[in-house]
Amino acid sequence: MLVLGIESSCDETAAAVVEDGHIVHSNVVASQDELHIEYGGVVPEIASRAHVERMLPVIEKAIIQANITPSELDGIAVGNRPGLIGALLVGVTAAKSIAWSLDIPFVAVDHVLAHLYAPNLGDSQIEYPALGLVVSGGHTSILNLASPTDAACICKTVDDAAGEAFDKAASILELGWPGGPLIEKAAQGGELEHKLPRTKKKKGETFSYSFSGLKTALLYGIKGIPKRINGALTYERQASDLSVQEKSNWAASFQAAAVDSIMKGVAIVFEEGNFQSIVAGGGVTANKTLRYQLQEFAIEHDSKLHIPNFEYCIDNGAMIAGLGTAFLRQNISNSLATTASPKGVAS
């Protein structure tokens, strides 16, 4: 079964052709980083307009690179939730139009669930039920995965997502955007000099992630507690006053606290549940410290970790095509009346 997957939930315009849910024939990703860099974050309206310009060339490239003709496709999959609504609508409209014109099934999938499908691209055989950890720019959640297509949210963040925290930390340290890879790079050679807060489980409450306290501790640690002078919040120091080594120490301390917090949730949920394996996905799973700690955890707990190859950690069309195939194989498809939604399984 040959499926075209389309992704436009945030700031990557992506399309891929995947065979039988595992064999990736093409995976084209057009990043919009350069359009958002001066704002230090994704501007939804700019993202939507850029998707409109890039969507058809990206789809065309995916078809050409896969060395197929559109008539060979058996189905079209699109991520229709959760995400930026204007951005999602571009992908959904393209997917429905192509499915209608080729008269083939159309399936709309959850982007978060697709991140947890990503380790299936290649040879991996995942054992279910699995603990599904999604750590991305928009989500930090743990799901109970009964199968690739069947998930229930166990816990999520009450404020920032992990990737968002990495992005904000990079902005505080004046490293640039997107922040995750820049923090990881700056952390190399850094000392764990600063003790920053980790997410804790509150007594008598179920576990939830929280990263806003970590971000604020980093901000105040670097710049001091702000005072209001003539109505404006004024800081004692700036990140530009720090040496390269000092920035590196802050980045390493932040990364250690963020990864420890992610692992805390994994440990609590894993020990309370009955899981055959651990599945991780989302942009933050590109982080080598997190990958190492997840691997160590799986070994210590006699479990197996399934984590995507680097190219499938960030948003891509292959994971959408793969998950779409899993639904199409169960004869599940969507009507062309289906639209986009900002909410999904982990929202």
| Contact track, ligand KG4, 111-140, x by CB under 6 A | -------------------------xxx--
Which of ligand KG4, Zn ion, none binds 93 (CB below 5-8 Å, type-dependent)?
none
Contact 145, 323 (CB under 8 A): no
The size of the interface with ligand KG4 (CB under 6 A), counted in residues, is 20
Cβ proximity of 116 and 279 under 8 Å: yes
Of 222 and 286, CB closest to Zn ion: 286
| Min CB(282)–Zn ion separation in Å | 6
Q: Distance between terminal CA atoms of the chain?
A: 31
Instruction: Report how far residue 153's alpha carbon sits from residue 302's, in angstroms, rounded to the nearest whole number.
Output: 24
CB atoms within 10 A of CB 81: 24
DSSP state of 225: -
DSSP symbols for 147-171: ETTEEEEEEEBSS--HHHHHHHHHH
Binding mask 159-198 for ligand KG4 (x = CB under 6 A): ----xx-xx----------xxxx--x--------------
Say how far apart CA 75 and CA 284 lie, in whole Å. Answer: 30
Nearest-angstrom CA–CA distance, 56 and 198:
43
Q: How far is the CB of 185 from ligand KG4 (least distance, A)?
A: 8
Provide the mask over 296-335, with x wherever binding to ligand KG4 is found by CB under 6 A and - wherever it is not: ------------------xx--------------------
Please tell me whether residue 136 binds Zn ion under the rule CB under 5 A: yes
Which residues contribute to the site for Zn ion (CB under 5 A)? 136, 315
Which residues in this chain contact ligand KG4 in the complex, by CB under 6 A?
10, 136-138, 163-164, 166-167, 178-181, 184, 282-284, 286-287, 314-315
